[in-house]
Chains A and B, each alone.
Chain A
Amino acid sequence: MKIKFPQWFYRLASPRWFYEFSGKLLPWFAVAALLLLITGSVWGLAFAPADYQQGNSFRIIYVHVPASILAQSCYMLMAIAGAIGLIWKMKMAHIVAKSCATFGASIAVMSLATGAIWGKPTWGAWWVWDARLTAMLVLFFLYIGVIALHSAFENTQSADKASAVLSLVGLVNIPIIKYSVEWWNTLHQGATFKVTEKPAMPPEMWIPLLIMVLGFYCFFAVIMMQRARIEVLQREKKASWVQEIIKQN
């Protein structure tokens, strides 16, 4: 493609630049994550009012919803980074994609498990094969598939490409998860946050939820950047700047 990109786009592609820039960002995201997560959970657990129908089991929302949102966003980043890596043959994009996979799988587990635990007192069932739950389970399998596929290849470039293709194929699952509650008659409730309307719940309930979502995003940023940094050092091991870092550590 003969498109001319601004300089910052090419700089993003440099593993060394990423390593140095992420090093500066990490402490900020880490502190933000800690503050947001503590504030959100304390507020959600101890201060938010109980739901008049569900009672206190409603407080599970403060871990279940952020986990579900992150499971999807993380997958989207993984797939988009994979696509950028495939199209522009950018090593750094593949590194970012690889750095999302394990976290994404773990957070999908969190969504499924906390959802099941919440389902028991609310619906009387740990699991139903409803559209959203099933699609989220599929997402978890996709994460596992991407991780397994990557480790199955000896050659890093082939591994990157194969994982990227699988991530992209699975990307269709994301709108299915998101719109399942609108398209089908499902047990799972509809969206709490909509772009066009006010939330159905009062601020004392949705503000801690927003805080938790932001906290989860900051935590994801920390984990992803740390994994990416290790991956960068691993792949650029022969470079002198990496040798310097190894010596200094």
Chain B
Amino acid sequence: MGYFATFADFLQMGKHGLYVWLSYGLAFTIFAYNIVSVALAKRQFFNKAKRQARREQIKS
């Protein structure tokens, strides 16, 4: 099944394994960075907003 005979062949990619896996690894990292950075920004916003809302409540 698939283009490669064995999993070892799949990892080696002829002799281009380093290049192919480096590229896909980089792409995956950049995708992960986007997902994490958005999740962090969302959490930071809500933490800050809740702190502010609590401060407003205490003041009033």
Contact = CB atoms under 8 A, between A and B. Distances in A.
A89 interface: no
A52 B12 CA distance: 17
Interface in B26-43: 26-27, 30-31, 33-35, 37-38, 41-42
A223 interface: yes
A14 interface: no
Give chain A's interface residue range (CB within 8 Å of chain B). Answer: 35 or more
B58 interface: no
Interface string A44-76: 011111100001110110011001000000000
A233 B45 contact: yes
B49 A46 contact: no
Contacts of B33: 106
Given A46-B4, A103-B34, A59 B27 contact: no
Contact of B10 (A46, A67, A223): A46
A78 interface: no
B53 A114 contact: no
A113 B27 CA distance: 9
A113 B42 CA distance: 28
**Contact size class for B?**
20 to 34
A246 B16 contact: no
Contacts of B42: 226, 230
Given A56-B14, A60-B20, A230-B41, A223 B34 contact: yes
Given A55-B16, A59-B13, A118 B31 contact: no
B30 A110 contact: yes
Interface string A223-246: 100110010011001000001001
A67 B19 contact: no
Contacts of A41: 24
Interface string A107-121: 101100110011011
A57 B53 contact: no
A7 interface: no
Contacts of A107: 30
B28 to A, nearest CB: 9
A155 interface: no
Interface in A120-167: 120-121
23 contacts: A41-B24, A45-B20, A46-B3, A47-B2, A50-B3, A50-B14, A56-B13, A56-B14, A57-B13, A57-B16, A60-B19, A60-B20, A60-B24, A102-B34, A106-B33, A114-B26, A114-B27, A117-B19, A117-B22, A117-B23, A121-B16, A246-B46, A249-B50
